Amino acid sequence: MYALAENALVLFPQAVTTQIHQSRLIQCLQQQALIAQTFESEEGTAYLPGAGFAQHISFMGCAPAIDTALPSTGQSLTNFYAVRCVSSEAIEFLGNAATRPPRCPHCKAFLSNWQTPLKQWQAGSSNAFMCPDCGTRTSPELWHWRKRGGFARTAIWIHGVFEGLKSVGR
Ligand SMILES: [Zn+2]
């Protein structure tokens, strides 16, 4: 079982209710050769990059080696790209440990303890987050997640992609 890199580029439709059926999404990515062989990861079924991966995903300032075969078990997957397709009837939160507090769409205040209202939303006991500053209640997908979170029914996760233009030791 492989643990995928936590760093990921997540692509999802702008309209939160849009759902693309998983089999249709996978078929489309296979036709574009963005994905190839499937394998099991701790996060569920994943795909190795296909021959067309580098044509669809461009990396600024570097040309990373893209493995199209699985490393041996137990080896680090830090610089390994893997693709997951997620599709569900329910709207899912897309975030991870890198997610930062969202900003209120009305007054721009931060919601520092966002995990608590998120859990209430996920449990179905609340349909909005209340702003601690202006008191407005707003659906979680309308908060500004600052590129570190989002909401969707369909998403493509590309694991192994690191964020932004950080210089590394130069
Ligand atoms: Zn507010």
**133 and 153, same domain (yes or no):** no
Q: What is the pLDDT of residue 170?
A: 40
Please check whether residues 111 and 135 belong to one and the same domain: yes
- 106 shares a domain with 31: no
Does one domain contain both 153 and 125? no
Total domain count for the chain? 2
| 12 & 84 share domain | yes
What is the 94 CA–ligand 1 centroid distance (Å)? 22
Partner residues linked to 83 by β-bridges: 47, 158
55 CA → ligand 1 middle, Å? 42
Identify the pLDDT of residue 60: 77
Q: Are the C-beta atoms of residues 65 and 106 closer than 8 Å to each other?
A: no
Is 70 within the bounds of a domain?
no
Identify whether 74 is part of a domain.
no
- Residue 32 shares a structural domain with residue 84: yes
Distance 126 CA to ligand 1 centre (A): 17
**CA 15 to ligand 1 centroid distance, Å:** 22
Alpha carbon of 144 to ligand 1 centroid (Å): 11
Could you list the mean pLDDT of each consecutive 10-residue stretch along the chain, which spans 170 residues?
86 93 95 94 93 87 77 68 94 90 97 96 96 97 94 94 59
In b/e form, how buried is each residue of 98-123, taking b as 16+ CB within 10 angstroms?
ebebbbbeeeeebbeebeebbeebee
105 CA → ligand 1 middle, Å: 7
Provide the residue range defining the domain that includes 119: 100-142
Q: Is residue 42 part of a domain?
A: yes
